Each structure stands twice: as C-alpha cells, then as structure tokens.
Structure 1
Amino acid sequence: MSSGINQPNRIDSWVLEDGEKLLTITEDPKIPNAATVLLKKQDHTMANMIRGQLLLDPSVLFAGYKVPHPLETDVIIKIQTDERSNPADALKRACTLLIQQTLEVKKQFMEQARNAEMGLGLGAEAQPTNMGYDPYGDGLASGAARTADGGDAYDF
C-alpha cells in the first residue's frame, strides 16, 4: 500500500523477487582491471560504506558509486584496481572487513549496554543515577551541561 501516486510499495524496495540476484559484477572491456557492480535493493548507506572501504585498499585505484534514480533501489559501484588484484576480489575484501567491523561495533555496544545495566561503567558519569536517561553523558538528567557560572554549555 503506497501513500503517493509515484511512491513505490515499500516492501518492493528491500525484498528480492524470486530468482533476482542481489549482486551482479560486469567487467569493463575498455579499462583494465575495472568492473561495474550492480547492487539490487540497496541505497546510499551500503554503497558509501563499500566505496569507503574499497578506497582504503592499496590495490584499488578508483571506487565510486551512483544511484541511477531516486525512486529505484539499485546502486551502481565502479571499481578499478591495479595489477595486484581484481575488482571482484577487492569487493570481497571490502565486504569482509565491513562485516568484521560491524560485528566488533555490535560486540562493543553489547558490552557497554551490559556494563551500564550492571553499573560497571568506567567513570563516575557511567554510574546509574536516579535522574533518568542522560543522552549527552554530562551527568545532568536534563541533558544540558552547565558552565562554571551555571549557564548552559550547549547554548551558542
């Protein structure tokens, strides 16, 4: 059920159809060690993470992406490598590293959440208080840090 005339059905933007491939790699016949990767049902978030990770690879000469149309959920990534690697292997390495980093962030988050529940924070600001949720970590339940003269440190 879409709310606008041109707005696609939301489920169509992330669920693959039967037999639809998530990833297609096409080698570029004109440029050595270059390929175009089509990611189905993805957006800027995934494409930018992959592009950024590819650019950290010393064998990658170029990595960029584009979203062909704002109403479509496909992303095109271009990759060119030097002779030490090929685009498919560089993409595999980048995705493997992103998965490892994501798992590490999840692990650290779960540890921090567990420590916060148990009151095992590293400093006094992490100790549980009866003042409620403190989104800024400044020890004030209102979320406003105070300067020495009692003013709000977040006012500009």
Structure 2
Amino acid sequence: MNAPARHESYVLEDGEKPVELIEDTKIPNAATIKIVKQDHTLGNMLRAQLLSMPQILFAGYKVPHPLHPYFIIKIQTDGTVTPQEILEQACTKLIGTLSSLETKFRREFSYKDMESSGAGAVTSHVEDPYGTNSGAWGRGREYLDF
C-alpha cells in the first residue's frame, strides 16, 4: 500500500545523519533538532527528561507525519548551556535511567524464578514486588517502589 517498507523506518541509509541540529535565529538559546528514523517513543522520553532539567525553559517535540520516520524536538535553555549540550546530558541521563530500570527488572524476574523453582526457604524473605501477598499497599509503598 502507501506505507514504506518496515526496515525503511528504522535502518539508516549510507551517509544519512541520524541527528540534524538547526539553531534558531529568532529565539535566544534555542534550537530545533531533527532526529531521523525514530518515533514518539524516543521523542516523548527525551522531552520528559529535558523538562526535568533546571536549565530548560522549553522542550517539545512533534512527529510531522506518521509515514515519515523522524521527529522534531525544540529546545530552549536559560543560556548557561547550549541546546546541543543539554540534549547530550539528557540522553546520558536517559540511558542511565533505562539501564537502572533494566537492572531492577532483571533482579525482580530472578526473584520470580527462585520462587517458581520450589525453593520454599528463599520465598520467605523475598519481597513481593507487586504487593499482592505482603500487604505492601497498606505500608504506603509505591507500585514496584523504584
């Protein structure tokens, strides 16, 4: 049909740049960044990470058309750092957050494997991550308590 081949949405072609920075001449300390072969998943995570940083005055993204595999993110800083530097910092923090999340998931699933293997003595001190058996909801704990 009209949709491009699936691999065209994610595989960079020879010589294609994954990131293109365009400095904004009308707004101080601002830039527009085009990130190719990505979609809402990365765009929303980057925007959220940027907005959590104190140097950011504005961060927003858009996907101009669903059939074109890129998004545009606009960043404005307070002038202490450039938009390019703050984007690099946000990417580094996001990678660290995702790495930490992966470690926590692997740990929780290893606990689940120990429980299902029949080790009765192990299950008595293993914390239930979902709070279904231990009454964790009543103790004011968050879901999965990151």
| TM-score tier after normalising by the smaller chain length | 0.7 to 0.9
Is residue 77 of structure 2 the alignment partner of residue 102 of structure 1?
Answer: no
Q: How many residues align?
A: 125
- Highest CA radius of gyration, 1 or 2? 1
Distance 2:85 2:45 in 1: 17
- The residue type paired with residue 102 of structure 2 is K
Give the alignment of 1:127-146 within 5 angstroms. 138=132
Is residue 33 of structure 2 the alignment partner of residue 37 of structure 1?
Answer: yes
- The residue type paired with residue 22 of structure 1 is P
Distance 1:69 1:55 in 2: 24
**2:99 aligns to what SS in structure 1?**
helix
Q: Which has the higher contact order (CA 8 A, sep 6+)?
A: 2
Matched with 2:85 is 89
Find the partner of 1:117 among 109, 113, 116.
Answer: 113
**1:36 aligns to what SS in structure 2?**
strand
Find the partner of 1:56 among 49, 52, 55.
Answer: 52
Structure 2: segments with no counterpart, 5+ residues: 116-121, 134-146
Aligned-pair identity in percent equals 49
CA offsets per residue over residues 17-46 of structure 1, 9 Å max, x none?
A: 011111111111111100000000010110
Distance 2:24 2:101 in 1: 35
- The residue type paired with residue 51 of structure 1 is R
Q: Structure 1 length as normaliser, TM-score?
A: 0.75
Give the structure with the higher percent helix. 2
Distance 1:103 1:89 in 2: 21
Q: Structure 2 length as normaliser, TM-score?
A: 0.80
Segments of 4+ moved more than 6 angstroms:
none
Matched with 1:77 is 73
Question: Shift of the alpha carbon at 1:138?
Answer: 4.6
- The residue type paired with residue 41 of structure 1 is K
Structure 1: segments with no counterpart, 5+ residues: 127-135, 140-156
